[in-house]
């Protein structure tokens, strides 16, 4: 793939993000701390991913005087976690964007074929009018994220941003190839996928670590 193909990819190298990501990767980090870190990282990433939001002028009276200031220009946002691990990123984003609506897309990766299998979907009715943040900690083969984006587009979604903590280059290529115009925000691009489709070095299975299922 050409370098231009990754023009919509933003790697967030902020020191706070990198510090928290290191603790998250550590095999010794337990489920409670893992959940807190995923939440904090999602919040930090959303802060950056919303940088392009439009502002509108308003007037505020401070204790000193009246002044012109700026507020968000009525932006409607939908946060769409890919179940299950994407759930861990929702609350951090809602703390920044409390008026956002939340839709859910249930996908799991078949362990043999690594293909995404859909099992649940519930979206805000006005999905086509909202700026969308699809969230999932891991972008491995990219199959799940690409399926979620294509599904959202079929439902009328237009402005789609994908927020993932760790990506494999293969996963980014897959989304770029199949989801034109999607902006991809990641905290790290790792080396490669192993034979089981896990990101190396990665952090293991994000869903299991979040929910303590293994």
Residues facing 60 on adjacent strands: 67
Binding mask 34-73 for ligand URA (x = CB under 6 A): ----------------------------------------
| 210 is a contact residue toward ligand URA (CB under 6 A) | no
Is 113 known to be catalytic? Answer: yes
Angle between helices 143-154 and 169-178 (to 10 degrees): 20
Q: Which is nearer to ligand PRP, 41 or 140 (CB)?
A: 140
Distance of CA 180 to the CA centre of its chain: 17
Q: Which of 213, 181, 206, 156 is CA-nearest to residue 42?
A: 206
d(CA 101, CA 126): 10
| 173 is a contact residue toward ligand URA (CB under 6 A) | no
- Quote the least distance from Cβ 113 to ligand PRP, whole Å: 10
DSSP assignment of 159-190: SEEEEEEEE-HHHHHHHHHHSTT-EEEEEEE-
161 binds, options ligand PRP, ligand URA, none, Cβ within 5 to 8 A by partner type: none
Is 109 known to be catalytic? Answer: yes
Q: Give SS3 for 127.
A: helix
Q: Which is nearer to ligand URA, 128 or 197 (CB)?
A: 197
- State which of residues 138, 182, 186, 192 lies at the interface with ligand URA (CB under 6 A): 138
Residues that bind ligand PRP (CB under 6 A): 82, 84-85, 108-109, 114, 116, 136-145, 171, 197, 205-207
How is residue 29 written in tokens?
A: 């980090």
Q: What are phi and psi for residue 210, nearest 5 degrees? A: -70, -45
By annotation, the residues acting in catalysis are 109, 113, 205, 208
Which residues contact ligand URA by CB under 6 A?
A: 85, 138, 140, 197-199, 202, 205-207
């Amino acid at each position: 793939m050409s370098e231009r193909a990754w023009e919509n990819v933003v790697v967030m190298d902020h020191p706070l993000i990198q510090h928290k990501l290191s603790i998250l990767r550590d095999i010794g980090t337990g489920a409670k701390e893992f959940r807190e870190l995923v939440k904090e990282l999602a919040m930090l990433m959303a802060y950056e991913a919303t940088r392009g939001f439009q502002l509108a002028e308003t007037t505020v009276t401070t204790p000193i005087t009246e002044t012109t200031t700026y507020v968000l220009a009525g932006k409607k946002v939908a946060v769409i976690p890919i179940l299950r691990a994407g759930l861990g990123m929702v609350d951090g984003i809602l703390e920044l964007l409390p008026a956002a609506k939340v839709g859910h897309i249930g996908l799991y990766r078949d362990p043999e074929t690594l293909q995404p299998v859909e099992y649940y979907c519930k979206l805000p009715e006005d999905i086509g009018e909202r700026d969308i943040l699809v969230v999932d900690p891991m972008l491995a083969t990219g199959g799940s994220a690409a399926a979620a984006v294509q599904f959202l587009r079929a439902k009328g979604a237009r402005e789609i941003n994908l927020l993932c903590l760790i990506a494999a280059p293969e996963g980014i290529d897959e989304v770029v190839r199949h989801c034109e115009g999607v902006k991809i925000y990641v905290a790290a691009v790792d080396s490669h996928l192993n034979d089981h489709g896990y990101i190396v070095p990665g952090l293991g299975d994000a869903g299991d670590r979040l929910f303590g299922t293994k």
